[in-house]
Amino acid sequence: MMELRNELLKSIWYAFTALDVEKSGKVSKSQLKVLSHNLCTVLHIPHDPVALEEHFRDDDDGPVSSQGYMPYLNKYILDKVEEGAFIKENFDELCWTLTAKKNYRHDKNGNCTLSDRDAFRLWCLFNFLSEDKYPLVMVPDEVEYLLKKICTDMNMEWCAGELDDFFSQEPLQQNGITVWVFLEWVNSGRFTRGTEKDTVTMAIQEVYQEIIEDVLKQGYLWKKGQLRRNWTERWFILKPSILSYYVSEDRKEKKGSIPLDRNCCVEILSDRDGKRCMFCVKTPSRTYEMSASDTKQRQEWTTAIQTAIRLQAEGKKSLHKDLKQKRHDQRALREKQKAAKEEELQRLKQLQEEKERKLQELELLKEAQRQAETLLKEEEQRRKQQHEEMQRALEIQLRQAEQARASMQAEMVLKEAEADRQKKRIRELEDMQKLLEEALHAEVTARQEEEAKRYAQTRLLSEEEDKMKALMQLKEEQEELIIKTQREKQELRQEMESKSKILDEAQQQLEEVRVNRQRADQDVMAAQKKLRQASSHVKHWNVQMNRLMHPIGPGDKRPSCSVGSGFRGTIGGQKDGRVKSLGKSEENDNANEPGKENLHRSLSNSPSNASSVVEMETTALNGQLKRNSMESKKSVHRASTEDQEDTPTEELMR
């Protein structure tokens, strides 16, 4: 029953994968419903239309995978299958129809060697001979076995070259080929090599009947009747459990069958009744006599019937299933032997490598031993030479020791004399040591005194350094004062230059006044002649005199005065006196201003007094210029005196 279940699952696997259009491993429920209904129909089992929905009620909308479909398939379909209750060929045709539409392709050029019926039978043969692993493949040994049987039925000699070339060109197919690759290769014509289609069809049909339908032997035989005892030619079909016979080879009218079991047997009969090549099949209930066309056919039939009886005795239902299992076991044994052989070769290789390694190690050890022996000999010789050299050296040292002993005795005498001298020298040295200690004590005392003096000297140096710092500070202050004095001298010089410029301007104005005086005399003479114009001339001269007197007026605040005031602020008390004198002169000038204004008013009132007024103003201007000149000389003299007083201080600083 398990073998039948496995065969049915192979066909169902092709139908399921054909419905998986997207190759996702899942099929929709609607398609599985149709597939399940058709399977139940061809297997002649009742179909429950609600079972699939109930089984997958948690996944109403999604597709179902092959693993999810298997519990339903086992529970509701395969567990209900009864062997002999259905036609296996109809079941295979259903699955082939579903999968061939999607996967089977005819030759591209239209030159198809196989008909659709031949392709279906080869598909069934492939499923039967394929391995029980998914996806289904057929190993090269089984492919060769199937093609050999087809060639034998076509009366052709099998040529393995084409198949070997195919597998050599496709290294990936070494572990097995799929049914579609197999059909494509057979359909290409390389296997049939120009054989007629009818011959190929007949050969495939015979192989199909032999392997799939378990037909061990079929053909015409003469059979002797039980009642009439006449001989009639029938078409016999031998299967492992039964020998059936029909009117003709189309098997439309079955005339009877002979059940076979372990209690049956086959015997060869002698020729009689005009028949030859006779044999009989004995069953517990009856003996059947038959006649073959020739001795070869009789031998084939008797051998085939004995094989069927042997299968029944062994409890086996199919010859080719048994042969397939034996071939599978042989392949497994070959693979195991091959693996064991490879393992043995690997082990032998490892042993050989280990042996070579040990030989190399042995050679290395031998070489090391030889080198050690050589080194040992060299070491022995070297030690011997060293011993001899040491012995000679000891003899030389012994002689030298004896000579040294004699010399030492002589030296001892000399040493004793030298010791006496040394003792005497030691006493002298001790006396000298005492003297040296006294000298040392005196030197220490002197050093202490020197240290005290040095300490005092250091203290004096520090005091001198402090005084030097104070002197340097005073020097810096003096330098600052010198710089300040130089700055004041520079300002004084600038003031002197400004005053000299003012003096030059006053002299120029004095010259102008003299010229004006001459003009005034002329005007006075003209005024005596032209009294009517005296008033206008007086006004004119008053304006000109005011313009000439304005730049040198003692009351005016000029830049030189500001400079003088600044200078007066920076110099000492000696300069304050001359500034005061200058101020007094300015005050005198200011005091004279009302008198001058009165003169101008009198001049404007009486033109006859114009000349006397001009003379008075000229005299006043000359006096003012003389005073300014004297003040300038005094200031220059004081500045030169200050420069001479500053010179010794600068020399002292330098």
* CA angle, 482 then 484 then 488, to 5°: 110
pLDDT-above-90 percentage for the chain: 17
pLDDT confidence bin for 511, thresholds 50/70/90 = confident
Mean local confidence (pLDDT), 135-142: 84
Helix (H, G, I), strand (E, B) or coil at 571: coil
Mean local confidence (pLDDT), 444-469: 89
pLDDT confidence bin for 622, thresholds 50/70/90 = low
pLDDT confidence bin for 110, thresholds 50/70/90 = low
The whole-angstrom separation of Cα 167 and Cα 227 is: 59
Cα 166 to Cα 146, 160, 169, 182, 581: the distances in Å are 16, 10, 5, 11, 144
Closest CA to 16 of 64, 83, 71: 64
Closest CA to 256 of 291, 212, 286, 276: 286
Instruction: Answer with the residue of higher pLDDT: 649 or 433.
Output: 433
Cis previous bond, 135, omega within 30: yes
Burial class from Cβ neighbours inside 10 Å (0-12, 13-18, 19+) for residue 380 reads: exposed
User: Does the pLDDT of residue 580 top 60, yes or no?
Assistant: no
Phi, psi values for residue 352, rounded to 5°: -65, -45
Any idea of the CA torsion for 318, 321, 325, 330, to the nearest 10 degrees?
A: 100
The pLDDT of residue 173: 67
Q: Which residue's structure tokens are 């002698």?
A: 270
Mean local confidence (pLDDT), 569-588: 41
The whole-angstrom separation of Cα 362 and Cα 339 is: 33
* CA angle, 232 then 237 then 241, to 5°: 120
Closest CA to 204 of 216, 218, 192: 192
Q: How many CA atoms lie within 13 A of 344 on its CB side?
A: 6
The pLDDT of residue 552: 52
The tens digit of pLDDT for each residue in 286-302 reads: 899 999 999 999 999 99
The whole-angstrom separation of Cα 480 and Cα 142 is: 127
Angle, nearest 10°, between helix axes 29-43 and 2-19? 140
The tens digit of pLDDT for each residue in 42-97 reads: 888 887 777 767 776 655 555 667 777 788 888 888 888 887 788 888 888 889 98
The tens digit of pLDDT for each residue in 384-440 reads: 999 999 999 999 999 998 998 898 889 889 989 888 998 998 999 999 899 999 999
Quote helix, strand, coil % in the chain, to nearest 5.
75, 10, 20
Mean local confidence (pLDDT), 259-269: 92
Cα 482 to Cα 146, 565, 575: the distances in Å are 136, 21, 18
**Antiparallel, parallel or unpaired: β 26-27 and 231-239:** unpaired
User: Does the pLDDT of residue 648 top 60, yes or no?
Assistant: no
Mean local confidence (pLDDT), 447-459: 88
Amino acid identity at 619? T
Question: How many angstroms from the chain centroid is the CA of residue 167?
Answer: 45
Q: What is the CA radius of gyration of the chain?
A: 78
User: Does the pLDDT of residue 561 top 70, yes or no?
Assistant: no
Mean local confidence (pLDDT), 296-323: 88
Q: Which residues contact 568 (CB under 8 A, 6 or more apart)?
A: 575, 576, 579
User: Does the pLDDT of residue 599 top 60, yes or no?
Assistant: no
Token reading at 313 = 């005795």
The pLDDT of residue 581: 41
The tens digit of pLDDT for each residue in 180-230 reads: 888 888 887 777 777 788 888 888 888 888 888 888 899 999 999 888 788
pLDDT confidence bin for 570, thresholds 50/70/90 = very low
The pLDDT of residue 608: 44
User: Does the pLDDT of residue 345 top 50, yes or no?
Assistant: yes
The whole-angstrom separation of Cα 458 and Cα 491 is: 48
The pLDDT of residue 572: 41
The pLDDT of residue 272: 83
Q: Which residue's structure tokens are 């220059």?
A: 636
The answer to whether 9 touches 135, Cβ cutoff 8 Å, is no
Helix (H, G, I), strand (E, B) or coil at 65: strand
The whole-angstrom separation of Cα 179 and Cα 138 is: 8
The answer to whether 43 touches 4, Cβ cutoff 8 Å, is no
pLDDT confidence bin for 567, thresholds 50/70/90 = very low
The answer to whether 236 touches 305, Cβ cutoff 8 Å, is no
pLDDT confidence bin for 612, thresholds 50/70/90 = low
Helix (H, G, I), strand (E, B) or coil at 593: helix
pLDDT confidence bin for 558, thresholds 50/70/90 = very low
- Mean pLDDT of all residues in the chain? 79
Phi, psi values for residue 86, rounded to 5°: -145, 165
Token reading at 141 = 């040994």
The tens digit of pLDDT for each residue in 2-49 reads: 777 888 888 888 888 888 877 777 888 788 888 888 888 888 888 777
The pLDDT of residue 306: 93
The tens digit of pLDDT for each residue in 458-503 reads: 889 988 888 889 889 888 888 999 999 888 888 888 888 888 888 8
